[in-house]
């Protein structure tokens, strides 16, 4: 078997989401990347309050230091997944010269939305507070996720209450949000477990990032495969339209023929030819942007 054929097979396995085998295929080449991985750092008291920091060995000559800081949350329908499965994401971002933070968080049914969103805010705040220790610029903080992780990145950015609930400290300035195949506009809720994690019914609108769009939202990059039957492309299309209508900056990338896993799978070496995800992320982060003010802390407690 040629190396090209083997990589094509690995790419297909990852894109199809073939469990642990797919993640092993994606992560095997990432182990040897030019980065240092600081694993299982605590950002809270619970066993799920752990994150990994990926620090590049080298910074590209054209990039000024310190590095952009990217926090990534994995997908898994808010019920499963682990940061260790996405080592290829940390390696890919470090390869661009970024400091990457991959965070675990509590999952349903241990917690409902308020719990995993609290973890999302805490991990982002930890990254902003400690990123400089790893050579990152906390003023170049980007929040990123795939699938349900993209939902968390968008919602914690748009709904001001999650950072406000952490206390009187100033919420971190967010330079941008990168959402891969994310659910942002997914009412009605039809599955019983999703109804429970986001319920009771009067609270359902609080789960929808599109309901918190505002004109001063940080720039967003929304990436979606047009053959995604897990999270419909209309989620990214509708959120992009709502942001545009409010005058917020948004870049929408729709990849023909690609399915739900392809957008994140394309960050792995075996599947990198499937989609230009990595190049689109790099172009988005390179965009000149005005310094972001800290998020306002108005708003009540999160239900």
pLDDT for 48 beyond 90: yes
pLDDT for 5 beyond 70: no
CATH number at residue 260: 3.40.50.1820
What value does the mean pLDDT take over residues 274-301? 71
CA distances from 123 to 43, 75, 94, 296 (A): 6, 16, 18, 18
For the beta sheet containing 67-73, the strands, ordered from the edge strand earlier in sequence to the opposite edge, are 35-42, 50-56, 99-103, 67-73, 136-146, 176-180, 220-225, 250-255
d(CA 128, CA 131): 6
Where does the pLDDT of residue 33 fall: very low under 50, low under 70, confident under 90, or very high at 90 and above? Answer: confident
Q: Residue 216 domain-assigned?
A: yes
**Per-residue pLDDT at 124:** 98
pLDDT digits (tens, 9 = 90+) for 69-83: 999 999 999 999 999
Q: Residue 143 domain-assigned?
A: yes
What value does the mean pLDDT take over residues 156-185? 94
Expressed as residue numbers, the domain containing 256 is 3-286
CB 75, CB 145: distance < 8 Å:
yes
CB 179, CB 144: distance < 8 Å:
yes
Alpha-carbon Rg for the chain in angstroms: 18
pLDDT digits (tens, 9 = 90+) for 193-227: 999 999 999 999 999 999 999 999 999 999 999 99
When divided into structural domains, the chain yields a total of: 1
- Angle between helix axes 87-95 and 19-27 (nearest 10 degrees) is 30
**Per-residue pLDDT at 291:** 55
Q: Residue 298 domain-assigned?
A: no
CB atoms within 10 A of CB 222: 26
pLDDT for 161 beyond 80: yes
d(CA 244, CA 72): 24
Residue with tokens 């792995």: 268
What residue spans of the chain are helical by DSSP H? 3-15, 19-27, 87-95, 113-130, 148-158, 161-164, 192-198, 234-245, 262-265, 277-286
Quote the pTM value: 0.89
User: In whole numbers, what is the pLDDT of the chain averaged over residues?
Assistant: 89
Query: Per-residue DSSP letters for 239-281?
Result: HHHHHHHTT--EEEEEETT--TTHHHHTTSTTTGGG--HHHHH
Q: Residue 127 domain-assigned?
A: yes
Higher-confidence residue of 174 and 14: namely 174
CA distances from 135 to 43, 54, 197 (A): 18, 11, 37
Q: Which residues contact 205 (CB under 8 A, 6 or more apart)?
A: 187, 211
Instruction: Using alpha carbons, select from 175, 29, 162 the residue that is nearest to residue 98.
Output: 175
pLDDT for 128 beyond 60: yes
- Both tokens of 191, joined, read 């599955």
Four-point Cα dihedral 122, 123, 129, 135, nearest 10: 180
What value does the mean pLDDT take over residues 57-65? 68
Q: What is the share, in percent, of the chain residues with pLDDT greater than 90? A: 78
Q: Residue 302 domain-assigned?
A: no
Q: Residue 300 domain-assigned?
A: no
pLDDT for 121 beyond 70: yes
d(CA 124, CA 16): 30
Q: Residue 153 domain-assigned?
A: yes
Q: Residue 16 domain-assigned?
A: yes
């Amino acid at each position: 078997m040629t190396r090209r054929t083997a990589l094509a097979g690995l790419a297909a396995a990852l894109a199809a989401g073939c469990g642990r085998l797919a993640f092993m295929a994606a992560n095997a080449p990432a182990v040897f990347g030019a980065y240092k991985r600081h694993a299982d750092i605590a950002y809270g008291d619970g066993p799920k309050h752990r994150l990994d920091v990926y620090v590049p060995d080298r910074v590209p000559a054209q990039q000024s230091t310190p590095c952009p800081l990217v926090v990534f949350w994995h997908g898994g329908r808010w019920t499963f997944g682990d940061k260790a499965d996405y080592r290829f994401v940390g390696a890919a971002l470090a390869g661009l010269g970024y400091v990457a933070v991959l965070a675990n968080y509590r999952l349903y049914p241990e917690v409902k939305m308020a719990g995993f969103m609290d973890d999302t805010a805490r991990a982002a705040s930890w990254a902003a507070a400690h990123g400089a220790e790893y050579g990152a610029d906390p003023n170049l903080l980007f929040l990123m996720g795939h699938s349900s992780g993209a939902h968390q990145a968008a919602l914690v950015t748009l709904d001001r209450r999650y950072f406000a609930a952490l206390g009187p400290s100033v919420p971190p300035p967010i330079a941008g949000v990168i959402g891969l195949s994310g659910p942002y506009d997914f009412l009605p809720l039809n599955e019983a477990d999703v109804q429970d994690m986001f319920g009771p019914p009067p609270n359902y609108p609080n789960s929808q990032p599109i309901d918190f769009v505002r004109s001063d939202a940080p720039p967003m990059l929304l990436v979606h495969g047009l053959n995604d039957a897990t999270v419909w492309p209309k989620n990214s299309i509708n959120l992009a339209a709502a942001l545009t209508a409010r005058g917020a900056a948004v870049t929408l990338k729709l990849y023909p023929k690609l399915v739900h896993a392809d957008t994140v799978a394309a960050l792995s070496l075996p599947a990198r030819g499937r989609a230009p995800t990595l190049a689109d992320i790099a172009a988005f982060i390179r965009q000149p942007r005005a310094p972001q003010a800290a998020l306002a802390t108005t708003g009540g407690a999160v239900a």
